[in-house]
Amino acid sequence: MPRTAFARSALTQIASAFEGNFKATEPLAEQLLNVARPRMMSTVARIEGSGLLRMMGPGSAMLAQRSTVLGGASAVAKSCGCPCGRVACMGACSTTGASVRHLHAHPNPPSDPEQALEYLREGNKRFVSNKPHDQHPTRNLDRVKATAGGQKPFAAFLSCADSRVPVEIIFDQGFGDVFVTRVAGNIVTNEITASLEFGTAVLGSKVLMVLGHSACGAVAATMAGAAVPGVISSLYYSISPACKKAKAGDVDAAIAENVRVQMEQLKVSPVLQGLVKEGKLKIVGGVYDLATGKVTEIAEAVKEAPKEAPVEAPKEAPKEANTSFIWSFFGGKKQQRA
């Protein structure tokens, strides 16, 4: 499809999706197209052949154009020539000489996985001490506008779905800082793995944390083996390995062990495993205390080296039985072997 036709079709879709107060018409799409054409062409050229459009759909890219029309942050520096390469960056950056600051990224992006993890540690310390960032740099309306055209989270999470575990808050982060997946029992599924592969390999998160929490009902129910309604018991299959490793009745130990089990499950992904080997990603675990707000990091399970089987002493060859008396009984002689 020609790029102009593609852009017009996509804008028609976004007009229909986001202009709920009035009818989306061809003139409206044409108006949006005239405003957005310069950045649209460069963005389409950048991502059209990458396959990302099939993954994301046109909505994410078009949302940035909607922000431009509304005068959002992505309207500034339209000709910035941003080398970001992210889907729907759409010029949401500013340039100073040779340097580029991505407005949709963290104000001080971590340089490596260890620094990204340190950001999370510092954020949780602020939360626990009840001293969050004053005038938080990524938790305001300006940040909302800046991230409307793209996202560049520095951390990704697999968290439990418990309503008492709001990841962004307990790590004192804001809009666009963390990429969060949540499911009861913080278990790994194909959908979770796919989402986290996207958050790390495509969006660039440098640290991936599996986050469990104290008094987890999913783990407790699995350990008890209690009857539950609907398909809730389908969670048991993924959590039961951790319960088997913990002592009977020790829910806290099972919660920590479940974090380790899910960490290992994520490492089965060739994408995540490759990022770890390249030093671009760190997979860690933690348990959030519902009573104190503190996140305690969980060390990986130490894999014991396989024990060598004891070397048995060579067995003596069985002695040949003396059967000469049998031959004598039958009046013959024992034949000698060649």
Q: How far apart are CA 298 and CA 300, in angstroms?
A: 6
d(CA 262, CA 178): 19
Is 162 marked within a binding site? Answer: yes
User: Binding site annotation covers 136?
Assistant: no
DSSP letter at 74 equals G
The structure tokens listed for 37 are 């054409």
Amino acid at 127: F
Alpha carbons within 13 angstroms on the beta-carbon side of residue 112 total 4
Instruction: Give me the residue label for tokens 């020790």.
Output: 250
Residue 126 contacts residue 132 (beta carbons within 8 Å): yes
Lookup result for tokens 């080398």 = 83
Give start and end residues of each alpha helix (H) in 48-112: 52-56, 58-69
Q: CA-to-CA distance for 184 and 167, rounded, in angstroms?
A: 14
Annotated binding residue 216: yes
- DSSP letter string, 185-252: GG---HHHHHHHHIIIIIT--SEEEEEEETT-HHHHHHHHT---STTGGGGHHHHHHHHHHSPTT-HH
Scan for tokens 């099972």, then name that residue: 254
Spatial separation of the C-alpha atoms in residues 38 and 75, rounded to whole Å: 12
DSSP state letter for 337: P
Q: Please report the sign of the dihedral spanned by the C-alpha atoms of residue 63, residue 64, residue 66, residue 67.
A: positive
Binding residues for Zn(2+), by number, are 160, 162, 213, 216
Binding residues, by number, are 160, 162, 213, 216
